[in-house]
Amino acid sequence: MTGPIHNAMAKARGALSNEVSRFDRFQRERADDGWAVETDDLPTLKTTLSWEQPKSVINYVRSPDLPFDRSINPYRGCEHGCVYCFARPSHAYLGLSPGLDFETKLIAKTGIADVLARELARKSYKIAPIAIGTNTDPYQPVEQDAGVMRACLEVLSASNHPVAIVTKGTLIERDLDILAPMAKRGLVRVGISVTTLDRHLSRLMEPRAPTPDRRLKTMARLAQAGVPVRVMASPMVPALTDPELEAILKAGKAAGARSASWIMLRLPREVSPLVREWLAEHFPDRAGRIIARLREMHGGQDYDARWGHRMRGEGHYADIIAHRFNVAVKRLGLKTTSPPMRTDLFRPPVLPGAQLSLF
């Protein structure tokens, strides 16, 4: 069913509703049948994990405003439940809701290591860094048992393939035994997203993600292990989190970040009504102002997907945030770009049954 979900059912979830996929032929609404139900009797929404067998795992992208041309998404959906997640609309392609389904009905890719190895071993494969975590977080809680991300790293490390990782998850520390040696070979860099330093606000926005201070500790542990780290002040929410921009960058620098970046809040497709609903529930006093600022940056629309525009918007407000960011990174000594990773070490995986090279 769709429509508002009782708070007891959606405890520790980001979305407040579960509207059907935009591809669904029918709409469904919740209705009171007259039977009174005590709040304590309502079941909380549980996370489920399903598995799919992928035919391929490397996704090629042709976006001029992205610093990579290929990515891997080990999971569909994300239990972190960030209400603002721009990847939510992708769940509609599965016939699921970008709302609560996105954070409760997860899908992992089984056999991903074998498929990845086959793709890297192709004679036609041209080496370039692979990005992981650009759609949903590879270190969300289910990775603890599923181990899909670690399986990918093992293949990439064995073939000396460069990888750029984006995450909020502290579980990345588990894989330092792989990441630290890769860093020594110039094969990895990691971006840690810090939306706010306020624990209460973070819990409302991203209910199952690690707390901000815990993410900073992860950043420090990566840096101490020699892994290049970037602090990502993303997304900036006008009149809500943007006052913290300089503080986030300063905290990231103190934790060992070498570089920094920022992105403005994006409201594509179903994300817009989900965020509007969330703002009305938690910040009714400033909801109108936040949406107005976002629309100002997108030509009067909630979102404009044009390349070169979608990440930060345009106009006076966007220019102010960009200026503040530039001043802060210069003062802190942070870079805005990361050094290139090595591609000359790449050796294609040797598949079972393949003839070994003599050289």
Q: What is the pLDDT along the chain (359 residues), one digit of tens a residue?
A: 444 554 556 778 999 999 887 877 766 666 666 665 555 556 678 999 999 999 999 999 988 888 899 999 999 999 999 999 999 999 999 999 999 999 999 999 999 999 999 999 999 999 999 999 999 999 999 999 999 999 999 999 999 999 999 999 999 999 999 999 999 999 999 999 999 999 999 999 999 999 999 999 999 999 999 999 999 999 999 999 999 999 999 999 999 999 999 999 999 999 999 999 999 999 999 999 999 999 999 999 999 888 878 889 999 999 999 999 999 999 999 999 988 999 999 999 998 766 555 44
| Spatial contact of 202 and 237, defined as CB atoms under 8 Å apart | no
CA distance linking residue 52 with residue 45, whole number of Å? 22
**Architecture of domain 48-332 in CATH?**
Alpha-Beta Barrel (3.20)
**Torsion angles phi and psi, residue 234, rounded to 5:** -145, 140
Helix axes 287-296, 271-282, angle to 10 degrees: 150
CA distance linking residue 192 with residue 173, whole number of Å? 12
Q: What's the DSSP call for residue 49?
A: E
How much is the pLDDT for 1? 44
CA distance linking residue 97 with residue 1, whole number of Å? 10
Beta strands at 188-193 and 48-52: parallel, antiparallel or unpaired: unpaired
Q: What 3-state DSSP class applies to 130?
A: strand
Domain limits of the chain? 48-332
The closest alpha carbon to 291, from 239, 338, 350, belongs to 239
Beta-carbon contacts of residue 59 (< 8 Å; ≥ 6 apart): 70, 71, 72, 73
The closest alpha carbon to 336, from 264, 263, 265, 258, belongs to 258
Say what the alpha-carbon torsion angle 25, 27, 33, 37 is, to the nearest 10 degrees: 110
Which pair of tokens denotes residue 130?
């692979």
Beta-strand ranges (E) seen in the chain are 48-52, 58-60, 70-72, 75-76, 105-109, 130-132, 163-167, 188-193, 229-236, 259-264
The pTM of this model reads 0.92
Which pair of tokens denotes residue 13?
């979830």
How much is the pLDDT for 65? 80
Which pair of tokens denotes residue 125?
């494969």
Amino acid at 217: K
| Spatial contact of 96 and 156, defined as CB atoms under 8 Å apart | no
CB neighbours (10 Å) of residue 111?
Answer: 14
How much is the pLDDT for 339? 84
| Spatial contact of 230 and 192, defined as CB atoms under 8 Å apart | yes
